[in-house]
Structure 1
C-alpha cells in the first residue's frame, strides 16, 4: 500500500496555483491592494479632506493623477483611503461571519438530531431575505456607521458559512478515522479540532475569498445609499454617489472609485475559483487531467 506524503501534496497544490496565470495575477493584485490598504495614509499625496475650491473638477494631471472632485479634493488620495476602509470592513465582517457560521455549521453537522434541525431552520429563515435587504434592515435598526456596517455584513454572511461548514462536516463525520477515534473514547472537542476542522478547511477557504468580494460590494452599496461609512471619511460607494451630478463634466469622479471596486471584487472571485480548483479533489483531478492532455 502506498501513502501520499503531505509535503508532496502541498507542493503539488502550490504548483497548480502557480501554473494558473489568472489565479497568480489575481493573487498578486490582492497582495498589492493589501499593501495599499495598509499604507494608504502614507501613500496619499494629499489630505482626503483638503478642500481647494479654485482647483475643483480638475482633470487628471501630473499634480492630481485621478483629478479632483467638486470641492477640489484629490480623488487619488480619497480612493486610497477608501480602499483601506473597504478592506478593513470586509476583513473584519467576514472574519466574524466565518467564526460564528463555522461554529454553528460544525455543531449542527456533527451533533445532528434536533439541534441540527433548529439551527438550520434559523439559517434558512435568514436565507429567505435578500442579502442587501437584510443588511439594510440591520443598519436601519442600529443606525449607520462603520461598526453597524461590519455587523450587518457579518450577519448577512454568517448563514453562508454555516451551510458550507455543515455540508462539509456531514461528509467528514462518517469517515472511518472519525469513527475509530470516537470508538477509542476520544472527546468531541478533540475530534472537532483534530479531524473535522482540518478536513473542511478547503471549502471554507474558498468561501472566504468569495465572501470578501461580496463584502466589498455590500459595503459599497450601503455607503452609496448613505448607510455605510459616513462623511467626511471617504468610501468608494459614497464617492460614486457624489459623482452622479458631475458624470458628464468630470468622469474621473466615478470611474476611478468604480474601477477600484471592480478590480478588487474580480481579483477575489478569480482567486476563489483558483483555490477551488486546487482544494476541491474533484476539480483538482479534472485540472490535472487537462494539463496532462496538453
Structure 2
C-alpha cells in the first residue's frame, strides 16, 4: 500500500512541478487568461476538460491546483509537527502546572470539530496560502501533542532515563538524546493521515469561500463554482477537481496505512 501511495503522490508532485513550466513554454493555456475562451465549453480537443463559467481551462486549473494543495498541506502538517511534538515532549516530561495548562488548552481545541475550528481560524486570518496553512496547522497541533505526550509519560519512567537523571543529565539533553527517538516513530503515520485529511479540509474551506482567493486555483473553490452549473448538465467543472482531490487523499492515506503496517510488523 505504501508503494502504491508513494507512486500516486509522486505523480501529483511531478504534475505540480511540471505544470508551471509547460505554461511558461506556452504548451498549456494559462488558467487565468480565459477571456477569449467560450464559457462552459464541453471537453474537446482544444480544451480537454472543458472550460468553466469564466472561460478558464478546467484541465489546467485542476493541474495547477495540485501544486497549491501540496504547498498548503505541506506547510500545515510541518508547522503542526514542529509545534505539537516539542510541546508534547515538554508537557509529558516536565509535568506540573505547565502540563495541566497545555493539556487543558489542547483538549479544548481537540473537542472542537475540525471543520468548525478551521473555518473560525480561516475567518480570523483571512484568505491566502500561508493563512490557510496556519488555519489547518492549529487543527492538527492537538493530535501531535496528545500522542507525543502520552508516549513521553510512558518512556520517562524507564530505568535508563532515571539513570541518566542520576548522572546529572538535564531535561533538554534527555528529551533530545533519549525521548525524541522513542516518540518520533508515531509521527510519520499521523503526518500522512493528517495530510490526507488536510486536503479535504482545505477543499471544504474553499467550497465555503474561506480558503484561497479565487484567482488561485483550488479544488474546493472550483467545486463551489461548479455547484450552480451541475443541475444544467455541466458536469465537467465538478468532475475533474473532485477526482483530483480524491486521488491525492487516497495516495496519502495509502502511505499512512502502509507505514503503520510496517511499524506494526517491526514491533
Give the distance between the partners of 1:215 and 1:118, measured in 2 at CA.
27
Q: 1:257: which partner in 2?
A: 241
Deviation at 1:104, TM superposition (A): 1.1
Give the CA deviation at 1:174: 2.0
How far has the Cα of 1:243 moved from its partner? Answer: 0.7
Deviations, residues 8-65 of structure 1 (Å, cap 9, x unaligned): xxxxxxxxxxxxxx22111111111122223331245110112155533222233322
SS at match of 1:55: coil
Matches within 5 A, 1:197-208: 197-208=180-191
TM-score, reference length from structure 2: 0.92
The reply on whether 1:245 has 2:228 as its aligned counterpart is yes
- What CA distance in whole angstroms lies between the structure 2 residues aligned with 1:140 and 1:71? 26
8 A contact 1:36–1:43 mirrored in 2: no
Shift of 1:180: 2.2
Indicate conservation of the 8 Å contact 2:206/2:218, yes or no.
yes
Aligned length: 262
Q: State the distance in 1 between where 2:143 and 2:240 align.
A: 31
CA RMSD of the aligned region, Å? 1.7
**Is there any run of 5+ residues in structure 1 with no aligned partner, and where?**
1-21, 287-294
Partner of 2:252: 268
Higher relative contact order (CA 8 A, sep 6+): 2
Gaps of 5+ in 2: none
Q: Equivalent residue for 2:145?
A: 162
- By how many angstroms is 1:102 displaced? 0.8
**1:66-88 CA distance string (max 9 Å, x none):** 22212321111101111111110
Contact 1:53 / 1:71 at 8 angstroms: preserved in 2?
no
Q: Report the equivalent of 1:41.
A: 20
Runs of 4+ in 1 over 4 A off after TM superposition: none
1-structure distance, mates of 2:48, 2:42: 8
Q: In the TM superposition, what are the counterparts of 1:106-121 in structure 2 within 5 Å?
A: 106-121=89-104
SS at match of 1:243: helix
Residue in structure 2 matched with residue 137 of structure 1 by the alignment: 120
Residue 33 of structure 2 aligns to a residue whose secondary structure is coil
